[in-house]
Amino acid sequence: MWRGRALSKEGKEVIIKAVLQSIPSYIMSIYLLPNLVIDDIEKMINVFWWGGRSNNWGIKWIAWEHVACPKELGGIGFRNFKAFNIAMVDKQGWSFFV
């Protein structure tokens, strides 16, 4: 599996936001995923971001909660998957009432 070793932090940020965060979007818009699945997705993105390998998880310099904050609040702007999943399912449920 390609781990993005040759990418800068900016390149990894683009890949995470454009590809890795969009892959589970369809499923998250239909189903409320268990917290274990959401945690696994966030862990995979975290390992890719910090450049860890399967046997070396890398050093995490910032807590994931801070990384997942909007840029206006000092974070990197990665998606909070738990909140996103709830919002997408709520949006789907709201369409039944309108």
Mean of pLDDT values over 76-83: 90
Structural domain boundaries in the chain: 33-97
First-last CA distance in the chain: 44
pLDDT at 54 over 70: no
User: Shortest CA distance to 90 belongs to which of 24, 32, 39?
Assistant: 32
Task: Return the axis-axis angle of helices 81-97 and 35-50, rounded to nearest 10°.
Answer: 130
What is the structure's pLDDT at 34? Answer: 96
For 15, residues 6+ apart whose C-beta sits below 8 A from its C-beta are 4, 7, 48
How high is the pLDDT of residue 49? 84
Q: Say if residue 61's pLDDT is above 70.
A: yes
Q: What is the pLDDT of residues 35-47, one digit of tens each?
A: 999 999 988 888 8
Asked if residues 68 and 50 have their Cβ atoms less than 8 Å apart, the reply is no
pLDDT tens digits, residue range 19-34? 888 888 889 989 999 9
Q: Comparing 8-22, 52-66, 72-86, which segment has the lowest mean pLDDT?
A: 52-66
Say whether pLDDT at 1 is over 50: no
